[in-house]
Chain A
């Protein structure tokens, strides 16, 4: 078996209200992220108390969503710069962590 080479990358997870989805998705596109995953209608607890999931309406705009993307380290700063003003006004969180991927050319 060939030895698997791993390359260091950064994973960014952004939890935010669904109404800002298109802005964040667009930001990731413009900042050069090649892809992202969206987890819709999530629940959890934060500064503003517990957030429930929703039953059937307005999932897109009203519930919390999480966007996950993996990018090369130099792209982290532009993404953070674009999110900072948003978090100044609206609630949300963001995590950046180290990950490793095997196919670097894909990111």
Chain B
């Protein structure tokens, strides 16, 4: 490639490019590292488009599947999951009021569409058609039919010929097809795969977050800078066939924008299609690009600050490879330059040669011509388009001689298939009016199989929704008959109240708990609207315990209870010991020399967990727990929920500082015993902090007796500042942290008040109210946090439940609440717990705080929780294919424990799969219904919600999280079957963790973004039914409409059909469906049937 004299780009050009990259990246979803894996809608940024349009764009740009294969939907029909009447319903808007008469029968447009949907009438390949024609029982009939059609069927006239091919590809080049794609399709190169392979290598090395034993050098210069520096060090580019690589690398511009502009200029991509062109490149590896996108948006992410990466930098590298490979392929195979203009010109000048090459590469040529093309392509003459043109000429003139036989045969095949579906005898076709037949063929053509997906989806959804609505309304009618429909809450005081997460997995547990006795349950987002950053005892990190899109507002720390001082020290030293051992072991393993010795000496240690986890998982788990208890005995803890006043914080800080000074004096100056006076300590503290000169006198006096000079004093102060971080700046930082801990009284009151109001728990409190968060247990599962609580940012619900209960139990909080009209009886105690969704066990926390008067209530509740857990296990095991059939509750309870500990278990639980709906309203409306763990529940009482403030929160926050979970499952299911899946992540068996951020498929692939095959599929069949979320809100329609009008996000969700919406009105006990952009209509399927 000749050198271009680089134009100097203006800032305006660079900025415009940045904007184009940003818009191009909308097709790629940001990828959260799996430590905080959260379910999200992979097409989130396309939500401004209608669902079908967004899916269409994703299919076009990423090559993903947006609906299940049609054959799968047909299987649903066969299994009765989709009834044929539903198909008519969804096809009706498409069908026109037209009909033809065939075989003496009226066949409507709708009939044809339905049969097409059910049977998929697309003609097979030419060879298969010929074979079919020969084996037909009545060949005469076929001939007659063909003859009838010959006169009537308008000739296709080169519909698939070279001119059309050139026309189509000319339009596609640049916006639906990159130049690399064009080369791959025309001359059979694998440029896209080669570029991907290079990018995977660079991305996995550069974006590594501590997994690599030898990190990549120079990462501080950013993705592009590092690449530019490192790629020139070795001969890799030469091995890839890039000539003159040293000069090319050294000629690369400093700024990634300029490099990208250079590549676009060399490839001569028209400016109007830059955005689409870059989108295609980003969509080639949506996982890596998505992770870079996520990282680049995080200004405070430590790895991003240390080794900056951005999509511009990524594209600058990517397009460098593309331009080099394309140039080489075009020169070598076609003898032309590898740029847009030349390629367009080539297609226009040599349409036949181009057509033949393309068909040959795609292996679509009939065998005879295919062989000739093989010889041509492999010989010396291949570069000359004239030879290809001659070949095309021969092929077309042979086809001419054959007449239109193939075309007519295909038409006959389709008509016969259609007749079979319509139950019309094939003989009747030959006697029908050819015009009628042609019209039917036309209807088929207008509705190609590629467009069936949206209709299938609609029918599938209608099936589920109808069944749910029927169940729901039957319950409403029952309540109406009993006169209980308007009942807000139970009249009698319940045994206990349990607040569960809105998660679908709670549905099963709640149902069983309610069946045991008069336990009242509520659904509330599992972070209980406590926005906290949490630091477990002994941990060195903090985690955000609220949905990832929100920000934590205060820090809560787990601290040992005061009476556990000694045990706490033991625990900490135990934890430290384990940590040091692990570090040592890891270092030995990763070092250049030591691994050999380490493996010899300590390798056998690995066999213990290996054998234990494989053969005796439960036993191993117990032994492991025992070991942990012995090394670091558990400590009773509590949470620091109360905010310190500034004065308190300053005092605590001063105490800490005095401790530091005292220790430093002992260590550095050897001051002991009576010499170590409080005045001396205080004087040094002030000197180090504010350089208070008046204090130095006191120091001098105190130290005189030890014979230390002024210089020694100054030196010691320096040590305090440098080594012990005792200076005013650090003090400020520490103070800031201290004051961030805990919540103020009014924040606590607000949190509790909002929660209680939203749930409708404003009166009739039980003696025990349990706040039940949730988490999961699994081993060897990189996606573990996907099974934890999404509302807690992919963490476990424990801290939030404990914080909430602690606040609600505080007398001061209750006093304030009483002033606001929320009178919580003195004998009501709030309790925190965590439900393990894998093992179905519940752990309760802070039992020290339960008043002695409540011990019986507690024992009863614990008993009931266990019983409900066992029943839940039994129900869940019946759905798990490998659980061994019908188990008793006890067996099932044991089985789930084993699942959680088994490290080879690819489905520790299967809880979230199946999610399909959410009910926002009173529990009464769904109580007693078996909704199979597929429904989210959000407790809500609209009569208590003035100004719809709470509903606004519910629809704009929890609903969004539910929708993300739902669509993550949707897209992972519909695009998990093919070998190349974009949205799903394929089988877990091939997953390898890379860079501590995500998993790759095998050793070298894109970062896998979605859920694994095992999560959503059962064998070859989907286990998760891919349906969009149905939301049923118990509230007057006008309130909901008002909110939709106010919030763009709700318009996107409901009007663009990402979520279905229904409203249940208590007045009139009726259900309404929201029609996008139109409004409400009574839900038809609610009529008595």
7 A-B residue pairs with CB within 8 Å: A52-B1047, A60-B551, A61-B549, A62-B1048, A62-B1049, A81-B19, A84-B19
Stretch at the interface among A2-10, A23-31, A34-42, A97-105: A23-31
> A58 to B275, Cβ gap below 8 A?
no
A84–B12 CA distance with the chains assembled, in angstroms: 11
B residues in contact with A93, CB < 8 Å: none
Known contacts A23-B22, A58-B550, A85-B275; is A48 also within 8 Å of B15 by CB? Answer: no
The A interface is mostly helix, strand or loop, or mixed, namely helix
Closest to A21 in B: B297
The yes or no answer to B226 lying at the interface (CB within 8 A) is no
- Chain A residues with Cβ under 8 A from B953's Cβ? 55-57
Minimum CB–CB distance from B222 to chain A (whole Å) comes to 13
Tell me, in angstroms, the Cα distance from A78 to B16 when the chains sit together.
8
Q: Which residues of B contact A22 (CB under 8 A)?
A: 297, 299
When distances are taken between beta carbons in the complex, the residues of chain B under 8 Å from A86 are 19, 22-23
Contact status A78-B12, CB under 8 Å: yes
Kindly report which residue of chain B lies nearest to residue A28, judged by CB atoms. B15
- Tell me which of B11, B16, B23, B960 has the highest count of chain A C-beta atoms within 10 A of its own C-beta: B11
- In the complex, per-residue mask of B539-564: 1 if CB is within 8 Å of any chain A CB, else 0: 00000000001110000000000000
Chain B neighbourhood of A80, CB < 8 A: 12
Contact A82 B549 (CB under 8 A): no
Q: How far is B1060's CA from A40's CA once the two chains are assembled, in angstroms?
A: 31
Do A82 and B550 form a contact, CB below 8 Å, given A31-B11, A57-B953, A77-B12?
Answer: no
> A27, B18: Cβ atoms under 8 Å?
yes
**A65 within 8 Å of B by Cβ?**
no
Chain B: CB-nearest residue to A77 = B12
Closest to A20 in B: B22
In the complex, what residues of B have CB within 8 A of residue A26's CB? 18
B-chain residues with CB within 8 Å of residue A23 when the two chains form the complex: 18-19, 22
Any A CB within 8 A of the CB of B952? yes
| Residues in chain A near residue B13, CB distance under 8 A | 81
Cβ of A67 < 8 Å from any Cβ of B? no
Option from B19, B299, B1047 in Cβ contact (under 8 Å) with A27:
B19
The answer to whether B15 touches A62, judged by C-beta atoms less than 8 angstroms apart, is: no
B14 within 8 A of A: yes
| Chain A residues positioned under 8 Å from B1046 (CB to CB) | 50, 52
> In the docked arrangement, what's the CA distance between A30 and B310, Å?
13
**A16 an interface residue at 8 Å Cβ cutoff?**
no
Complex interface residues of chain A between 54 and 99 (CB less than 8 A to chain B): 54-58, 60-62, 75, 77-86, 89-90
How many of chain A's residues touch chain B, expressed as a range?
A: 20 to 34
A81 touching B16 in the complex, CB below 8 Å, given contacts A57-B956, A86-B22: yes
**CB distance B19 to A78 under 8 Å?**
no
In the assembled complex, the CB of A92 is this many whole angstroms from the nearest CB of chain B, namely 12
CB distance from B162 to the nearest CB of A (A): 36
**Residues of chain A within 8 A of B15, CB atoms compared:** 27, 30-31, 78-79, 81-82
Interface status of B949 (Cβ within 8 A of chain A): yes
- A54: B residues at CB distance < 8 A: 956
Bound complex: CA A79 to CA B960 (Å): 33
Is A84 a contact partner of B16 (Cβ separation < 8 A)? yes
Q: Judge if B817 is at the interface, Cβ distance under 8 Å.
A: no
Sample of 17 more A-B contacts, CB < 8 Å, known A49-B1045, A77-B11: A22-B297, A23-B19, A27-B18, A50-B1046, A55-B952, A57-B956, A58-B549, A58-B550, A58-B956, A58-B957, A58-B1049, A60-B551, A62-B1047, A62-B1048, A81-B13, A81-B16, A85-B19
* A30 and B12 form a contact (CB under 8 A): no
Mark contacts of B773-814 with chain A using CB atoms, 8 A cut-off: 1 yes-contact digit, 0 otherwise.
Answer: 000000000000000000000000000000000000000000
B20, CB-defined interface residue at 8 Å: yes
Report the separation of the CA atoms of residues A57 and B548 in the bound assembly, to the nearest whole angstrom.
12
Q: Which residues of A contact B16 (CB under 8 A)?
A: 81-82, 84-85
**Cβ-neighbour of B956 out of A60, A62, A81, A90 (below 8 A):** A62
Give the residue name and chain of the B residue nearest to A82 (CB): B15
The interface size of chain B toward A, counting residues with CB under 8 Å, comes to 30
Is B423 an interface residue when CB atoms closer than 8 A count as contact?
A: no
- Chain A contacts for B956, CB-based, 8 A: 54, 57-58, 62
B900 → chain A, closest Cβ, in Å? 33
Which residue on chain B has the smallest CB distance to residue A32?
A: B11
Closest chain A residue, CB of each to CB of B18: A82
Asked if B10 CB lies within 8 Å of chain A CBs, one says yes
Chain B residues with Cβ below 8 Å from A78 are 10-12, 14-15
**What are the interface flags for B581-614 relative to A under an 8 Å C-beta threshold, 1 for contact and 0 otherwise?**
0000000000000000000000000000000000
- 0 or 1 for each of B938-972: is its CB under 8 Å from A? (1 = yes): 00000000000100110011001000000000000
Determine if A57 and B19 form an interchain contact, defined as CB atoms under 8 angstroms apart.
Answer: no
In the complex, residue of chain B having the shortest beta-carbon distance to the beta carbon of A31: B15
Contacts of A81 in B (CB 8 A): 11-13, 15-16, 19
C-beta contact mask, B1-34 vs A, less than 8 Å → 1, else 0?
Answer: 0000000001111111011101100000000000
Are B19 and A48 neighbours in the complex by a CB distance under 8 Å?
A: no
6 smallest beta-carbon distances between A and B, as pairs: A82-B15, A78-B11, A81-B12, A85-B19, A57-B957, A81-B16
Chain A residue with Cβ nearest B1045: A49
Distance, CA A78 to CA B17, complexed state (A): 11
**Docked CA distance A49–B1051 (Å):** 13
Q: Are B14 and A83 in contact (CB under 8 A)?
A: no
Chain B residues with Cβ under 8 A from A61's Cβ?
549
Question: Given A55, A56, A58, A83, which contacts B19 in the complex, CB threshold below 8 Å?
Answer: A83
A48-B18 in contact (CB<8A): no
Residues of B within 8 A of A77 (CB): 11-12
Within 8 A of A (CB), among B295-354: 297, 299
Q: Is the CB of A48 within 8 A of B1048?
A: yes
CB proximity of B698 to chain A, nearest CB, Å: 44
Complex Cα distance, B14 from A82, in Å, reads 8
Residues of chain B within 8 A of A52, CB atoms compared? 1046-1047
When chains A and B are docked, how far (Å) is the Cα of A15 from the Cα of B765? 47
Which residues of the other chain, A, contact B960 by a CB distance below 8 angstroms?
Answer: 58
- What is the CA–CA distance of A23 and B22 in the complex, to the nearest angstrom? 8
Of B16, B22, B949, B952, which is in contact with the most chain A CB atoms at under 10 Å from its CB? B22
List, in ascending order, chain A residues with CB within 8 A of B19's CB: 23, 27, 81-86
Q: Closest residue to B1050 on the A side, CB-wise?
A: A62
Give Cα A32–Cα B12 distance, bound, in whole angstroms: 12
Tell me which residues across on chain A come within 8 A of B1047, comparing CB atoms.
Answer: 52, 62
Q: How far is the CA of A54 from the CA of B550 in the complex (A)?
A: 13
Q: Give Cα distance in the complex from A78 to B13, angstroms.
A: 7
- Give Cα distance in the complex from A26 to B20, angstroms: 14
For the complex, give the distance between the alpha carbons of A14 and B348 in Å: 46
How far is it, in angstroms, between the C-alpha of A78 and the C-alpha of B257 when the chains are bound? 13
Q: Which of A26, A27, A51, A56 has the most CB of B within 10 A?
A: A56
Closest CB in chain A relative to B489 CB, distance in Å: 25
Q: Which of A22, A62, A79, A84 has its CB near the most chain B CB atoms (within 10 A)? A: A62
